[in-house]
């Protein structure tokens, strides 16, 4: 394994050059490092025009055999995961590679017992417990497709996702803990299932022992089924292009779409990037604080680290419980060497002060990572100084649910860093900046829309059940390019800095939420006739949600109406999408053709009320005055 590690910047340059000049030879060599039942006929076959891509076509494999079985000869007793509970006094669970093998096989056999077959969809709605990882891998073991839904999403969001991919089984727990809160997850599942005819069984892991409704026809306790299964389950032979998982993510229009990833390419790319970006070595302890409900948890908690035989920490709780020193305490406790988190967490902890950091040594740390949103310079320096003690490189990793793995990032200890820059593309990634008309912006010290002009192994394959939408969203904006939706600068040295979304997607605490989604939830309130949502800069969350709402005939006090609207969004999407500010308005700034001028709404939300630009094309310029005067500060 790992004949693909880059050790120096010269090696990076060589690898990059080869990846562009001979992509097939480049990726073919890397793929040789894995176990395949049958090798590929062709490394890559693709067209961005009529979007179609195949990596390692003709090959067959099982990703779990690469994640687990292949390590058993030398690493059976090595630790795969150390689980840290929400409660610091609760004992850790330590899972060796052998135990992981056994648990995954038992879970896989349990799924088979419940009638799950290759190609069936399984929804996972679990807290951050090892069973979430077992469940993912159990699906992959038998060729079922997992669709994880973050356990903070509401019943409506869960139901939408289950329905969209016709899941046959839901795996959940009785409850979950988040800091001092306990949540009844099973209730959420029960409510969601009222509108999901496809679900035949619910496998329920007993975690918090909260009282739940148990439906004997459908529900099965994990502890009454999984432990009884055999600890051997032959891995299903999967074609390289067979679907590994679906993960729903927000776009600028409509409901979240199911991003589809395929087995072979995803395996090769997550392992390649995990090794090279983090420079993980035998004996290191890696900790990614994400939730498995997001792509970071898929690629860099489960698949990437396991493919490389790493030892990882999994944490159930939140950074501020029992106090804001929890992350740092865990780092000291488990001698974490690699720590990967989101800027929003860094900013939140920075705001709470150094008293929570100073009790801890943090001297095991070697590499720090950042993901999910642009990291501002101040947070970067705070992280570098107070956590990394100015001796740990920070890898600012830019990527997306659709990209499957990291595309632009420093290689730890190899790439020269520049605060707030994701720096250079990884080998195999060919970024290009274009203007709004799609013309390439060449040279350095420029800014534009970030696109990628050549496929990489873990690129999105389709949006589940709707290939047209995939083509439209990613491959139709600019000819022959994958469009990321992000704006980007390239400095004089060719370093990239991602500046944020240029479409109607917000990034709230590193979570991706479409403005259209929040609007449609707000509009569900009976008093609301129309709304418009924009993101605005927020000190901790990166972006906050600002909603303009028209409710002409409401008889309610505005404070009450606002509370109700927030409750509505909470119910329809979940707490992460709750508007931070709501302004009740009598109209929205629209052009004569009826299009909302979001530019104006964004400016007002930002507080930049004197720079609204040309408003002469508005149907009713008066609404602008009203909006400016009523701005929520």
Where does this chain bind ligand WT7 (CB under 6 A)? 249, 294-296, 371-374, 396-401, 422, 484-486, 498, 500-501, 507, 512
Q: How far is CA 401 from CA 141, 184, 197, 207, 568, in A?
A: 22, 28, 28, 29, 27
Measured between its terminal Cα atoms, the distance across the chain in Å is 55
User: Which of 45, 6, 20 minimizes the C-alpha distance to 265?
Assistant: 45
- Both tokens assigned to 547: 């909603």
Q: How far is the CB of 496 from ligand WT7 (least distance, A)?
A: 9
Residue among 315 and 399 whose Cβ is closer to ligand WT7: 399
CB-CB contact of 427 with 370 (8 Å) = no
- Both tokens assigned to 567: 């409750």
Backbone angles phi, psi at 169, to 5 degrees: -135, 145
Residue among 311 and 341 whose Cβ is closer to ligand WT7: 341
Residue among 289 and 397 whose Cβ is closer to ligand WT7: 397
Q: How far is the CB of 338 from ligand WT7 (least distance, A)?
A: 16
Q: How far is the CB of 499 from ligand WT7 (least distance, A)?
A: 8
User: Looking at the chain, how many residues does it have?
Assistant: 633
HEC assignment per residue over 121-179: EEEEECCCCHHHHHHHHHHHHHCCEEEECCCCCCHHHHHHHHHHCCCCEEEEECCEEEC
Q: How far is the CB of 341 from ligand WT7 (least distance, A)?
A: 11
Residue among 201 and 489 whose Cβ is closer to ligand WT7: 489
Instruction: Classify burial at 51, counting beta carbons within 10 Å of its beta carbon; exposed 0-12, middle 13-18, buried 19 or more.
Output: buried
- Both tokens assigned to 471: 């083509």
On the CB side of 423, how many CA atoms lie within 13 Å of its CA? 24
- Give the separation between CA 100 and CA 134, rounded to whole angstroms: 7
Q: How far is the CB of 371 from ligand WT7 (least distance, A)?
A: 5
Element (H, E) at 434: strand 431-434
Cis peptide before 322 (omega within 30 of 0): yes
Residue among 293 and 325 whose Cβ is closer to ligand WT7: 293
- Both tokens assigned to 243: 């679907």
CB-CB contact of 113 with 233 (8 Å) = no
Q: How far is the CB of 448 from ligand WT7 (least distance, A)?
A: 15
Residue among 136 and 225 whose Cβ is closer to ligand WT7: 136
Q: How far is the CB of 315 from ligand WT7 (least distance, A)?
A: 17
For 418, residues 6+ apart whose C-beta sits below 8 A from its C-beta are 491, 495
Residue among 107 and 273 whose Cβ is closer to ligand WT7: 273
Backbone angles phi, psi at 281, to 5 degrees: -125, 155
- Both tokens assigned to 52: 């179609």
Q: How far is the CB of 331 from ligand WT7 (least distance, A)?
A: 21
Residue among 247 and 357 whose Cβ is closer to ligand WT7: 247
Q: How far is the CB of 507 from ligand WT7 (least distance, A)?
A: 5
Q: How far is the CB of 255 from ligand WT7 (least distance, A)?
A: 15
Nearest residue to ligand WT7, by Cβ distance, number only: 401
Q: How far is the CB of 429 from ligand WT7 (least distance, A)?
A: 14
Residue among 275 and 400 whose Cβ is closer to ligand WT7: 400
Residue among 544 and 589 whose Cβ is closer to ligand WT7: 544
For 58, residues 6+ apart whose C-beta sits below 8 A from its C-beta are 38, 39, 40, 41, 42, 240
User: Which of 388, 357, 358 minimizes the C-alpha distance to 375?
Assistant: 388
Residue among 172 and 397 whose Cβ is closer to ligand WT7: 397
């Amino acid at each position: 394994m790992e004949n693909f590690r880059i050790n120096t910047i010269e090696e990076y340059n060589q690898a990059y050059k080869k990846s562009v000049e001979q992509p097939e030879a480049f990726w073919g060599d890397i793929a040789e490092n894995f176990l395949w039942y049958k090798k590929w006929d062709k490394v890559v076959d693709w067209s961005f025009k009529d979007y179609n891509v195949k990596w390692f076509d003709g090959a067959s494999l099982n990703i779990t055999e690469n994640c687990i079985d292949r390590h058993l000869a030398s690493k059976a007793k090595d630790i795969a995961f150390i689980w840290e509970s929400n409660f610091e006094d609760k004992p850790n669970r330590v899972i060796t590679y052998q135990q992981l093998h056994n648990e995954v096989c038992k879970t896989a056999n349990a799924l088979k017992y419940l009638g799950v077959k290759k190609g069936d969809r399984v929804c996972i709605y679990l807290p951050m417990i090892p069973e979430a990882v077992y469940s993912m891998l159990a699906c992959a073991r038998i060729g079922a497709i997992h669709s994880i839904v973050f356990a903070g999403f509401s019943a409506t969001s869960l139901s939408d996702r289950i329905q969209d991919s016709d899941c046959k089984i839901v795996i959940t727990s009785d409850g979950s803990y988040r800091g001092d809160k306990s949540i009844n997850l099973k209730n959420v599942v029960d409510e969601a299932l009222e509108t999901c005819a496809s679900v035949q069984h619910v496998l329920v892991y007993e975690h918090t022992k909260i009282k739940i409704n148990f439906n004997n026809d459908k529900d099965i306790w994990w502890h009454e089924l999984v432990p009884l299964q055999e600890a051997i389950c032959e891995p299903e032979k999967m074609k390289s292009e067979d679907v590994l998982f679906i993960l729903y993510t927000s776009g600028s229009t409509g409901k979240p779409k199911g991003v589809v990833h395929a087995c072979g390419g995803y395996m090769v790319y997550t392992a390649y990037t995990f090794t090279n970006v983090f420079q993980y070595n035998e004996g290191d302890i890696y900790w990614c604080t994400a939730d498995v409900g997001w792509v970071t948890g898929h690629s860099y908690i489960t698949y990437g680290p396991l493919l490389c035989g790493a030892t990882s920490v999994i944490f159930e709780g939140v950074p501020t419980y029992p106090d804001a020193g929890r992350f740092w305490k865990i780092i000291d406790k488990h001698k974490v060497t690699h720590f990967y988190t989101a800027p929003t967490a860094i900013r939140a902890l920075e705001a709470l002060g150094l008293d929570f950091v100073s009790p801890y040594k943090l001297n095991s740390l070697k590499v720090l990572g950042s993901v999910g949103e642009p990291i501002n310079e101040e947070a970067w320096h705070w992280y570098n100084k107070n956590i990394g003690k100015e001796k740990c490189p920070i890898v600012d990793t830019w990527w997306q649910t659709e990209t499957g793995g990291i595309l632009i990032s420093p290689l730890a200890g190899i790439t020269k860093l520049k605060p707030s820059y994701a720096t250079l593309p990884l080998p195999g990634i060919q970024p290009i900046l274009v203007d709004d008309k799609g013309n390439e912006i060449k040279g350095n010290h420029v800014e534009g829309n970030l696109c990628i002009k050549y496929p990489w192994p873990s690129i999105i394959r389709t949006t589940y059940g709707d290939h047209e939408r995939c083509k439209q969203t990613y491959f139709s904006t600019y000819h022959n390019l994958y469009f990321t939706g992000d704006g980007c600068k390239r400095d004089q040295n060719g370093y990239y800095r991602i500046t944020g979304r240029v479409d109607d997607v917000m990034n709230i605490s590193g979570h991706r939420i479409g403005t259209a989604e929040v609007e449609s939830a707000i509009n569900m309130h009976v008093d609301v006739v129309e709304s418009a949502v924009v993101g605005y800069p927020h000190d901790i969350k990166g972006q906050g949600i600002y909603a303009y709402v028209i409710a002409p005939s409401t008889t309610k006090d505005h404070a009450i109406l606002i509370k109700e609207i927030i409750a509505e969004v909470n119910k329809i999407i979940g707490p992460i999408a709750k508007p931070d500010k709501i302004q009740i308005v009598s109209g929205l700034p629209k052009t004569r053709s009826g299009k909302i001028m979001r530019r104006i709404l964004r400016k007002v939300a930002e507080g930049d009320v004197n720079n609204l630009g040309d408003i002469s094309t508005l149907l009713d310029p008066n609404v602008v005055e009203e909006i400016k005067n009523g701005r929520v500060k």
